[in-house]
Amino acid sequence: MIGGDFIFAEGLPQTGEKEEEGCVLAIIDCTRRGVPDTFISLIASFGLKKIIRSEGWRDPALILNRLTFWIRTALQQDSGDMFSDDGLNVAICFVSGQGADHDRDGQQTKLTFAGARLPLYCAYNGEITVIRGDRQSIGYKLSDLNSKFTNHR
């Protein structure tokens, strides 16, 4: 069986006074099945690595904005006459700090979430909270290259 859904995790060191140490976590749901799904997941994985490692993005909403552009141009879906119309849904978080509630310096651990049609489920003190992602996917021809995703803290 061939599929393309995957989990992405990338630890990031502190790179200056404003860039916190943390981790980017993402769940990617490719919306097609089979070989096209696998191909999209390879492009998305490479794109996430480039956006986070090489370009230095840590902000989940900005990563999703950049990934939309990356997928559309990699698949050449940025012109109206292309036959393919593939994309994916993504939930992405940046977690800063260490430990359950506080890092080693006593700073509170922070989580920032942005979603492209995927929610975040938070369980805390026996309660579950659902934080909805934006109602747009990534990569499709109809995905607006100028749209902005929303961060939730």
Distance CA 56, CA 95 (A): 15
**Percent of the chain topping pLDDT 90:** 54
Residue 134, helix vs strand vs coil: strand
Stretch 53-81: mean pLDDT, rounded? 88
Whether residue 3 contacts residue 30, with contact meaning beta carbons closer than 8 Å, is answered with yes
- The one-character DSSP state at 107 is P
Q: Which residue has the higher pLDDT, 79 or 7?
A: 7
Give the pair of three-digit tokens for residue 26.
Answer: 């993402």
pLDDT digits (tens, 9 = 90+) for 68-118: 988 888 887 776 666 777 889 999 999 997 655 555 566 788 999 999 999
Each residue of 7-38: b (16+ CB within 10 Å) or e?
ebeeebeeeeeeebebbbbbbbbbbbeeeebb
Give the residue among 44, 62, 51 at the shortest CA–CA distance from 5. Answer: 44
| Domain assignments of the chain as residue spans, ordered by start | 6-131
Distance CA 54, CA 49 (A): 7
Whether residue 60 contacts residue 113, with contact meaning beta carbons closer than 8 Å, is answered with yes
Residue 18 neighbours by CB under 8 Å, 6+ apart: none
Indicate the angle between helix axes 60-74 and 35-49, nearest 10 degrees.
130
Give the pair of three-digit tokens for residue 112.
Answer: 């920032």
